[in-house]
Amino acid sequence: MDSVSSQKSIFSMIVDRDIPADVVWENERIIAFTDIAPKAPVHLLVVPKTAQYANVTELAAGDPALLAEVVAVAQLLADERTGGEYRLIFNTGEAVGQTVFHVHAHVMGGQLTEGSLGFE
Ligand code: 5GP
């Protein structure tokens, strides 16, 4: 269960195969899949399987090696799909648009709008 609510997060449902997703990479600790509402030509989510951490600050404090692994997977997927260049976003807090409180990295690549954060 995540640290914000006692309900299973949507990403835990994907990890457990309760709901489908286009999974592009997976190991024991991490899953990566395409965002259901892409905001860039390539828009992947890299997600620790544990629901213990609601955001990147909690993950960095609780398991820095897992955070490093998330970044390594982001690079690996970008190497495969976007020529190795990408934008890495961790939304932290409702005010900036975080909607899923199970830590995840947005990996965005392709032609992004210059000057935007990729979400416009
Ligand atoms: P946040 O706004 O919390 O940083 O990002 C959550 C992301 O999860 C959003 O970009 C949203 O489109 C994506 N998302 C929400 N529900 C699902 C889902 O059921 N499947 C997939 N693949 N992505 C989802």
> 66-86, pLDDT tens digit by residue?
999 999 999 999 999 999 999
Task: Check residue 116 and give its pLDDT.
Answer: 56
For residue 74, the model assigns a pLDDT of 98
At residue 112, the pLDDT reads 80
Mean pLDDT of the chain: 92
Residue pointed to by tokens 């490093």: 68
Quick check: is 104 catalytic? Answer: yes
Measured distance CA(12)–CA(48) in Å, rounded: 9
Ligand 1 pocket mutation, candidates 15, 26, 43, 45, criterion most atoms within 8 A of CB? 45
Q: Closest by alpha carbon to 113, among 41, 52, 53? A: 41
How much distance in Å is there from the Cα of 36 to the middle of ligand 1?
6
Q: Which CATH number fits domain 10-109: 3.30.428.10, 1.10.260.40, 3.90.1010.10, 3.40.630.30?
A: 3.30.428.10
Ligand 1: centre distance to CA 57 (Å): 19
What whole-number distance in Å separates Cα of residue 61 and Cα of residue 22?
A: 30
> Please, which pLDDT band fits residue 117 given cuts at 50, 70 and 90?
low
pLDDT > 70: what percent of the chain? 88
